[in-house]
Chains A and B, each alone.
Chain A
Amino acid sequence: MPERAQILPGTLDLLILKAVSLGPLYGYGILLRIEQISHGALLIEQGALYPALFRLVRQRLLKAHWDTSENNRRTKFYELTTAGRKRLRQEEEGWNRLVIAIASALKAQPEEI
């Protein structure tokens, strides 16, 4: 198992939006998807997923509906709304800017100052 990083506060929402943007998913599926797309590098407190999901539904970024899953069980599926898609785009851009800024800051050498 690779060394896992604790996720930054506030990034869980972004990860959820990203995971769901790739297709409707149910709760545990979202967790698996995040582990998959982050190559298992992120450590998520599993229960924390659900308050976040409910919050995103209330913010109308996700919508939820009950359906039958592949193993014929009643399951709650989440998918992105238009607002959610827009938010994901904004958050992605913001995140990338942040990463670049932090990275360049960290690369700074003493002679550059």
Chain B
Amino acid sequence: MRIFASLRSIISALFHRSLVEKEIEEELRAHIQDRANDLERSGVPRAEAERRARLDFGDYQKFKEEIREAQGTHSLETLIQDLRYALRMLRKSPGFTAVAVLTLALGIGANTAIFSVTDTLLFRSLPFHRPDRIALLQNAIVEDSFPPHDTVKQFHDWAQRSTYLADAAVFEGIDANLGGGRGVVRAHIVQTSWNFFSVLGTQPTVGHGFARDDEVDATGFGLPGRNAVAVIGYGLWQELFGGDPKALGATISVEGNRLMVIGVAPRGFDYPDHCVLWKPAAFSRGNNGWVAIARLKPGISWAHARSAFAVEVAPQLPKPAKTESPDLAPQLLSLQDGLLGPVKNATLLLLGAVLLVLLMACTNVANLLIARTADRRVELSVRAALGASRGRLARQLLTECLLLSLVAAIAGLLAAYWTVPLAAIVEPPPLGVQSYSVLNGHVLAFTLAASVIAAMLFGLLPVLDIGNLRVLGPQPSATSRGARVIRQAVVAAQVMLTMVLLSASVMVGHAFAHIMSTDRGYNVKAIATVSVSLGGTTYQSGDRQLPYFEEVLDRVRNLAAVRSVSATEFLPLDARGFIGGDFGIDGHPAKRNSMIVPVFANYFQTMGGQILYGREFNDAEVRSGAKVAVVNERFAAGFGEPSQAIGRRLTTASGSSWQIVGVVKGMDYETDPTLINPFQVFIPPAHPGIFPPATFVARVDAPVESHLSAIRDTIRSVDTDVPVFGAETMQQRLNELFAHPRFYRFIIWTFTGFALLLIVAGTYGLLAYTVARRTSEIGIRMALGATRTNVGRMVLGEAFLTVCVGIIGGAPLIFWIKRLAGSLMGSAPGSLTAPIAFGALAILAVALLAAYIPARCAMRVDPVVALRYE
């Protein structure tokens, strides 16, 4: 109540200011009047009485000011006064204001942008029921036995028996051809256990979810009318049925199988992986594409669930454990963390880096401010002499800082508003309902807090400097040791941070160049790729597939720019869900499973792969379905001299066999070197029935991009009903795969550029200011015989010393940043000598460049002119 009352009195005091003011005047005047009357009555003449009464009363204005202060309107009024004054000061020095606002706006804007991403990904909860209780069993199903899911019953029994999970669901995302509307389209769909929706706590908005007996124990699509059902996404519902509830009961074709629509998912629900359709899972043995999610039992803590899971999964793990990175080990994660994966750490790391940038911006503005406060000593001491307390002056300076910071925050928000959409391109949010937005409470609060804290940070040093203010007598010179050491320390700190960023830039740039130039066993530059899928089309049946492929290959081969063309089931770097096989030679099994890649004739010639011995398949072998194979060198080396493998038989445990006609160098089918399967076997597509999805590859003349549409249109011209998608050059595919490292490199380089600019501004500010302050000293030195070179050396020497201190201080931090850079780029950067040397040289060069102008100014000082001022 007290607060309300005083607030009311403040507000009424503000609004009725003139009235209150008048009443105070009235009261005080009455007092003086009464006093004068009394004195007159005691015999003093009227004029003298009035004079004495005023004298007795004391300093009228001072007491009036004290009354105002006692009334509590003071602080607000002071604030307004301070703000007006601050605005005037900022307008008066547009150069300083522009540099300070720009520096801060970049810092705050970058923070806002990164925070809005972090907020969406990490801090806002997922749009499911009690999302904090949903777990992802990460990579639990690596070795096809855990959780048990050979049959429907096995899996659900396991979930029901669990002591720490209330329920669990499995699913598998697949790309499929969807028919039902206009033509056949390629879409991402998911097959789930029947309880998928209930584990998430989301129910279809129209219709219902799956029932217990919708699942089937077979690799099939269920029985018509029973489990051949689907829940469709809201978007698909709008697109195919115009949002009509009569869609329930309609059929939709998935890879040529007709499924009945039984429900529509809520708007924006597209978990997992932006899928558009959910269908019941067909359980079968050995499916390693499954993902499991679960809901924790009520009352079970995450720590408990995690350890219980670890205990349960341990005996299922293969021994010895594969040499996978620990991030991929089976573990129970919260769904939110699971959705993010490695992005989580990168996001937090970026947030840290961007805070560092803001810190640097703050130090720079602090440096500028100290210089300016020193310039304003005369003004400040006049104000102090007129009765302003130190606190009052400090408040004035802080108000100026806050104003600067808030103006910068607005500019920063605008900058973030324009840049955040870029982040959505590099790292789209995992769920459709999530989006990166700047204009929401969390982000605005963060920006406000960041700007206020920044203002406090960069305002602190100048305000502390006020302590040295003297009202009378000579002002302590700003070149006094203390002030200068502070400013040098600030520049040195900037150098230190920039040193870290610069070396990180070198490491990251080096790592990225390494990634992009790695020899992956095929030609990246000249390959165009286009995918098709025959599922659900008229070519689905086995005997119609080969003619389709031959027709496409023929037509593409005849294009002018195409040198060579072939096709494969899946491309290198895109080995999701590859087929593995237990291969050997002449009945002797290889040490481990091999990956098997079905390819057409001329595949290696087209891809630029290296054939070491023998040859690859020809058209006749592909057409006749000849049992021939090509193996890679590593596989062949397991059975003696690789060149001797030609002509031997490639065999499987189940008795199939192929004649080996060639040995090749092999290709990188994964980007992570530890995950690349060293054993690769290439065979012609099986007969009858090849494979529904396939990718055509063509080696074309440069520029590759310009031929993509011609190839795509040619393939489409064979049959417009076949979905043709993914027309990209191999280089584009590679770039997409490494979009994250590329983005991190871009960000770090941007930050570094920004930091270098700050160093230029900081060093220049420091030296220009010192030189200006020391003009007379320099004059005396020159009058006493110092040469221009001596003076120039003195100024450059100061810059050199400051920068060296920063460089030496920053060097140890680089060892620490090395690990972070490695984790960002997915590979450890090599030696540290180059980054450190480059960082040190670049900073020195930049700082000396910035010092050049002040040094020249100092050298041009004319002793006669300089000394005239004193």
Contact = CB atoms under 8 A, between A and B. Distances in A.
B26 A74 contact: yes
A73 B26 CA distance: 11
A47 B28 CA distance: 8
Interface string A15-51: 0000000000011100100000000000001111111
A4 interface: no
Interface in B8-24: 9, 23-24
Contacts of A26: 30
Contacts of B35: 28, 46
Contact of B63 (A31, A51, A73, A76): A51
The CB with the most chain B CB atoms within 10 A, among A31, A51, A55, A73, is that of: A51
B213 interface: no
Nearest to A76: B27
Contacts, number: 55
Contacts of A31: 31
A107 interface: no
B815 interface: no
Q: How large is the interface on A (under 10, 10 to 19, 20 to 34, 35 or more residues)?
A: 20 to 34
B72 A50 contact: no
Contacts of A27: 27-28, 30-31
B31 A46 contact: yes
Interface in A63-93: 66, 73-76
B838 interface: no
Interface string B44-74: 0000000000001111101100110111100
Contacts of B67: 50-51, 54
Contacts of B66: 50-51
A46 B30 contact: no
B31 A55 contact: no
B52 to A, nearest CB: 11
Interface string B73-103: 0000000000000000000000000000000
| Dominant secondary structure at the B interface | helix
A47 B6 CA distance: 24
Interface residues of B, number: 24
B619 interface: no
Given A58-B70, A58-B72, A76-B23, A48 B30 contact: no
Interface string A92-103: 000000000000
B58 A45 contact: yes
A28 B70 contact: no
The CB with the most chain A CB atoms within 10 A, among B24, B26, B31, B57, is that of: B31
B71 A50 contact: no
B60 A50 contact: no
B427 interface: no
Nearest to B27: A76
B738 to A, nearest CB: 67
Interface of A: 26-28, 31, 45-52, 54-55, 58, 66, 73-76
Interface of B: 6, 9, 23-24, 26-28, 30-31, 34-35, 56-60, 62-63, 66-67, 69-72
15 contacts: A27-B31, A28-B30, A28-B31, A46-B35, A46-B58, A47-B62, A50-B28, A50-B66, A50-B67, A54-B70, A55-B70, A58-B9, A73-B30, A74-B26, A75-B30
Shortest beta-carbon contacts, A-B, top 3: A51-B66, A47-B58, A47-B63
